[in-house]
Amino acid sequence: QVRLVMKAHSFVRENVPRVLSSVKDKSSTVPIPRISQYLYFLFAPTLIYRDNYPRNPTIRWGYVATKFAQVLGSLFYAYYIFVRLCIPLFHNSSQETFNLRGLVLCIFNSILPGVLILFLVFFAFLHCWLNAFAEMLRFADRMFYK
């Protein structure tokens, strides 16, 4: 939801000044973007609206398949870490009486698996998923990390 709000803000911020200046100049045509431009912007991995983006000439489907395989691999590995390292720590805690020492130990023992899962999810989404969609949309500006 935050991403969509940021994209809507960028779209409005880029287009309102153009529309207002054309109305102020009493121009016969108002530069309203096409629906296809807005839809492309919604799926493109960028938060800054432009009417045109640099595009690659072809789609490398092998690259797309590799990125989606990396997403699936990351999710399965995160699931494996969660099942093997996190669930056993908290499994018996519901049957025992509350113990502050036990709670603190469970939390500290689950910090490392939690951080690993966080890194895997960020890698899966921010690197693999966005690169796969950028390739499918032939989006050429791949400066995600800048």
Paired tokens of 91: 């499994």
d(CA 90, CA 110): 9
- For 139, list phi and psi in degrees, rounded to 5: -75, 120
**pLDDT tens track for 68-99:** 999 999 999 999 999 998 888 777 766 777 78
Q: Left if phi > 0, otherwise alpha if psi is -120 to 50, otherwise beta: which for 138?
A: left
Question: In one letter, which amino acid is 68?
Answer: F
pLDDT at 50 over 80: yes
Give 57's pLDDT tier (boundaries 50, 70, 90): very high
What's the pLDDT at 90?
77
Question: In one letter, which amino acid is 114?
Answer: G
pTM value surpassing 0.85? no
The CA–CA distances, whole Å, from 111 to 41, 53, 103, 116 equal 37, 41, 13, 9
Q: Whole-number mean pLDDT of the chain?
A: 88
pLDDT at 12 over 70: yes
Q: Are 30 and 15 in contact (CB under 8 A)?
A: no
Question: In one letter, which amino acid is 39?
Answer: L
